[in-house]
Amino acid sequence: MSTNLDNIIPARDDAFNSIRAEYSDMLKNQLSKGNNGLVKYKYITFSIEADSLAAAKARLARIETDVLNNFKVLGVAARPMTGYDRLKVLHGVFHPEGEPFSFDWAWLAPSGLSTKDFIAPPSFRFGEGRTFRMGRKIGAVSFLQILAPELNDRILSDILDLETGVIVNLHIRSIDQSEAIKTIKRKITDLDKMKIEEQKKAVRSGYDMDIIPSDLATFGSEAKNLLQDLQSRNERMFLLTFLVANMADTKRKLENDVFAAAGIAQKYNCALTRLDYQQEAGLLSCVPIGKNLVPIQRGLTTSSTAIFIPFITQELFQTGEALYYGLNALSNNMILCDRKQLKNPNGLILGTPGSGKSFAAKREMTNAFLITDDDIIICDPEAEYFSLVQRLGGQVIRLSPTGKGIDGKPQYVNPMDINLNYSEDDSPLALKSDFILSLCELVIGGKEGLQPVDKTVIDRAVRNVYRAYLADPDPAKMPVLGDLYNELLQQPEPEAARIAAALELYVSGSLNVFNHRTNVELSNRLVCFDIKQLGKQLKKLGMLIVQDQVWNRVTVNRAEKKATRYYM
């Protein structure tokens, strides 16, 4: 199934459809690098032996609950299949050309047919020893010979990544722990017996009795290590049958597909061997009905069997207003995510210098601008987002010591601006007082910061300054930093004079850019605060003021039920 990206970035009635088309082309190019166009289905079938159908159903229900809970712990989405779902899966296996599945349980009684009649292919042919035919397809079933002493968890992933028609089936049967230990002990006894016979033979022949075949020594040590794992390391014993079924349109294509799969097996020191004269049993064993007709098994411990768990990568491919965040490092699939739908929508871009952090931020801003209706607010300490904002028709507010904006006209942001819609729960004045306290703490500096008396004086002065505005919320009566300065001078405490002296630089000094009422309109959905000209000593103060202005903007948008993204 292919993924269509044309509907992810639909055209809109604005001047940016050309950018949307270019961005869509980029996404399609990235899509082709991964396997997002392919859908892989993974099924698990568990079966038991019981005395009656009722007992089997009860035990299967308990096993199903345990399996689903374990998948949930792994973070894997799993659900039980209905009878219709199982028939549809079997139909898909027997009709690899993609013939649609039509079935209803109500059709069985009137027609006299069984479920097999609805899933059976047009024909089967198992006359050849190494291949079979199913309809117009030709196929071959092989089994994996595990020869490597250590397995890599990438072997299954690489086989599943083959862009061919392939069915991978693993039959895993657990062995009772006590029976497994007895079997290993019997094998060790047999090896010891063979070792003694070889030593007797050596004595009769007149050479050193310690010289025994290397196979006996190797197998003996491995058997003892396996016994130790079962007895003291909480390992269990499993019997594994690994089958791979390839299907193609022509025999040449089939041989190439089998050769590619065999190459992957050889890469991990294993062998993919064709099932000679067992193709019918192999095909039926590849059907997810929990029946293994191929008696070729390999004993593995729990840790070795876990290598074949097919959930080794986590994909993130959401739809809707999902943004592009790059490619999965393991699968090369696209990462599309809508952070507003996640448990925590916040994001952080980390990387070494020159690794592309700013580019990643610009890409996300552009993507959000083209796809969503969200507001994008940028705090730009290096003046590097001006070109992007200008191209997207956004607004750039340059905060500089001279107060001049991009066009040479004065641009001011008043840190004393208050929004009466700050919060539905907290008092707007209390929140504003907290911001002014943080502002004064940055201005005063020092290791100890503001003392309790300083905070009391500032809080009292803030309430006095806003009293007239709260009585009559007229924008012309909005306080400025100079009003707070004058109010502090009127307080009797000596701490008030010290705080006022620290604010004098920003009120009547050379950095009085913050002692003006706001004259910029934040109506644009893309706003960039350029604070580079403020200098290094004012960067923290400037960003704090920008955050306060952003909060003013966000509260208005919250009332309008509009989402906002932050880029600070």
Domain boundaries, the chain: 122-308, 357-567
Question: How many residues does this entry show for the chain?
Answer: 568
pTM of whole model > 0.85? no
Alpha-carbon span 79 to 41, nearest angstrom: 12
What value, to the nearest 5°, has the Cα angle with vertex 139 and ends 133 and 142? 135
In this model, does residue 257 exceed pLDDT 80?
yes
Distance of CA 83 to the CA centre of its chain: 32
Alpha-carbon span 568 to 401, nearest angstrom: 21
| C-beta of residue 246 within 8 angstroms of C-beta of residue 258 | yes
pLDDT in tens, 416-463: 888 777 656 677 888 888 888 888 888 877 667 788 898 999 999 999
Q: What is the pLDDT of residue 86?
A: 92
| C-beta of residue 436 within 8 angstroms of C-beta of residue 502 | no
Among 80-94, 301-315, 491-505, which stretch is predicted with the lowest mean pLDDT?
A: 301-315
Q: What is the pLDDT of residue 275?
A: 92
Mean local confidence (pLDDT), 28-48: 76
Identify the CA nearest to 532 among candidates 523, 522, 542: 542
Query: End-to-end CA distance of the chain, in Å?
Result: 39
H or E stretch covering 377:
strand 375-380
From start to end of 488-568, where are the E strands? 526-530, 564-567
pLDDT confidence of 531, banded at 50, 70, 90? confident
Alpha-carbon span 444 to 202, nearest angstrom: 93
Identify the CA nearest to 364 among candidates 321, 315, 319, 395: 321
Q: What is the pLDDT of residue 312?
A: 58
| Cα dihedral 544, 548, 549, 554 sign | positive
Q: What is residue 331's three-state secondary structure?
A: coil
Q: What is residue 199's three-state secondary structure?
A: helix
CB atoms inside a 10 Å sphere around CB 558 = 15
Q: What percent of the chain has pLDDT over 90?
A: 22
φ/ψ of residue 284, rounded to 5: -65, -30
Exposed/middle/buried for 325, CB within 10 Å: 0-12, 13-18, 19+? middle
> Could you say which DSSP state residue 158 is in?
H
H or E stretch covering 85:
helix 83-94
Q: Which two tokens stand for residue 551?
A: 């909060």
Q: What is the pLDDT of residue 184?
A: 84
Alpha-carbon span 226 to 235, nearest angstrom: 9
pLDDT in tens, 472-497: 888 888 898 899 999 999 999 998 99
CB atoms inside a 10 Å sphere around CB 126 = 16
Q: What is the pLDDT of residue 132?
A: 93
Highest-pLDDT range among 199-213, 340-354, 422-436, 551-565? 340-354
Mean local confidence (pLDDT), 247-272: 92
